[in-house]
Amino acid sequence: MAQSNLRHHSLLVVTFVAIALGAFSPSKTWSAGFARESAVVKAVKKVSPAVVNISSQYEVIKRSNPFFDFGLDPFFESFFKDFFEPRHRRRYKRNSLGSGVIIDGGRGYILTNEHVIARSAKITVVLRDERELEAELVGAAPDFDLAVLRIDSNKELPAIRMGSSDDLMIGETVIAIGNPFGFSNTVTTGVISALNRSIQTENRTYQDFIQTDASINPGNSGGPLLNINGELIGINTAIYSKAQGIGFAIPINKAKRVVDDLIKYGEVHIAWLGLSVQDLDPKLARYFKVPEGQGVIVSYVAEHSPAQEAGLQPGDVVTGVGKKRVASREAYHAMIRDFAAGDAIPLTAWKDGSTEVLKIHSRTFPEALAEELAYKSLGVRIQEISRAMRLRFRIAARDGVMVTELRPGSYLDRIGVRPGDVIRRINEKEVKTVDDFKGAVTKYRHKESAVLLIQRGNQQYYVTVKIEI
């Protein structure tokens, strides 16, 4: 009996040891363990082939005249600059790294940030299979920090699946994929921390960003922000240098409208309503019985414009666009930029002592109004440079448009611009013809100011002009 019990006990020990050894054997799978292929892993596997590395090359010109290092008297500095600088400029080629995502595999369209490819002379895209292809710029929208590239491939490319950013929830899991510091397809995860964030940079204000705690570094810019299902809900951007542990992304529904215009026209066609607005000062706010900091006053309504057709008049106060309150002129224009030409835009306005909600059917800005708009906003009328005008005003400029009239009392009139002067550039847009001028006025009509390059004889100078309507 004792021997039988001993054999039974020994058999239990051997069986336990065998099970234990089997459980920890590297060649076996522990059937009771957790599934390792999580939703995040599945999403990354699905999307990674559509994420690309973008390398853009641009030229930097640096003066190398040693005399500038000694703090010369301004007179001599000017002399040395004129004498030496043309001969002592060094040109450098620099590379900028970023990310992008393929949104149309058949046509080879890639979505990225505008600042990733800004100033680029050459753009190279590296695919997941390590193929390097040169890309062409389809269109860029600096006000939205978005750009569309196109590459030619001998086979259809993997494309990402579009999601929606209209139903995002604070706290939901998000995944960012990009190429920080040149490391391809780096994955970070986090949650949505906030929605509708405004970001102020040195050059402009961006509206309605997604804020996340997923790490987004230089190189991640232009890469996709995904929901847990691997759908594209935003384009990551690293434009806010002060961010620590905070990432931002452009909502994909906002990006879709920009992308459509960039592919169709090469630029964004912002909705045109035909009105200009100004900030409400405290006195006007009290007069219209509108809380200070809420609303903008309509200062101008164009004839036969969508705004006039909807019943808006100078003196009305716009207090909301859609479901958002309007706090300033800048905020109003940022909200309007979210709409495409052809959209019906709901405006809340204070008219004749009561609040009304108007639906304004926007259109594309008619370039036929550009010259009249230039007279109202910049204070100039222009024309092509004819041979007769070139001789009469001794015009040395080969390209540009000639100023023919100045609005009395306008800024350009006050500082001494005169007929015969030539406008060569408006902001970064070069002006060679009247059509170029109209295009620039149309493009920058919502800006608070514009920088004009004006030439008189052989002298050129830059003038910053406040847009007055």
β-bridge pairing 422-426 and 324-325: unpaired
**Of 221, 305, 362, 377, which residue is the catalytic one?**
221
Residue 25 lies in a domain: no
5 lies in a domain?
A: no
pLDDT of residue 236: 94
| CA distances to 54, 162, 182, 205, 423 from 256, in Å | 21, 9, 27, 20, 35
Distance in angstroms (rounded) separating the CA atoms of residues 51 and 126: 9
Domain count, the chain: 4
Check whether residue 452 and residue 386 sit in a common domain.
yes
Question: 220 and 298: one domain?
Answer: no
Q: Does 347 share its domain with 419? A: no
Q: Which domain holds residue 253?
A: 173-265
* Catalytic one of 145, 316, 338, 436: 145
Residue 7 lies in a domain: no
The answer to the question of residue 163 being in a domain is no
Tell me, what CATH number does 344's domain have?
2.30.42.10
Which residue out of 115, 338, 362, 421 is catalytically annotated? 115
CB atoms within 10 A of CB 270: 25
Tell me, yes or no, whether 27 lies in a domain. Answer: no
* pLDDT single digits (tens) 374-391: 998 899 999 999 989 989
In a domain, 38, yes or no: no
Residue 355 sits in the same domain as residue 429: no
Last residue of a domain, one of 336, 361, 386: 361
Which DSSP letter does residue 466 get?
A: E
202: confidence class by pLDDT, cuts 50, 70, 90:
low
Q: Is the pLDDT of residue 55 over 70?
A: yes
Residue 379 pLDDT? 93
- Residue 221: active-site member: yes
User: 85 and 110 share a domain?
Assistant: yes
Q: Is residue 58 situated within a structural domain?
A: yes
Domain ends where: 265, 292, 308? 265
Quick check: helix, strand or coil at residue 147? strand
- Residues 309-354: tens digit of each pLDDT: 999 999 899 999 988 889 888 889 888 887 888 889 999 998 887 8
The CA-CA-CA angle for residues 291, 297, 302, to 5°, reads 160
Q: How confident is the model at residue 91 (pLDDT cuts 50, 70, 90)?
A: low
- Return the structure tokens found at 358: 């108007």
Last residue of a domain, one of 203, 236, 265: 265
For the question of residue 145 being annotated catalytic, the response is: yes
Quick check: is 351 in a domain? yes
Question: Are residues 140 and 200 both part of a single domain?
Answer: no
Assign 413 to helix, strand or coil. helix
Residue 325 tokens, joined? 């309150």
Q: What's the pLDDT band for 239 if we cut at 50, 70, 90?
A: low
CATH code assigned at 82: 2.40.10.10
For the entire predicted model, the pTM comes to 0.72
CA gap 209, 251 in Å, rounded: 6
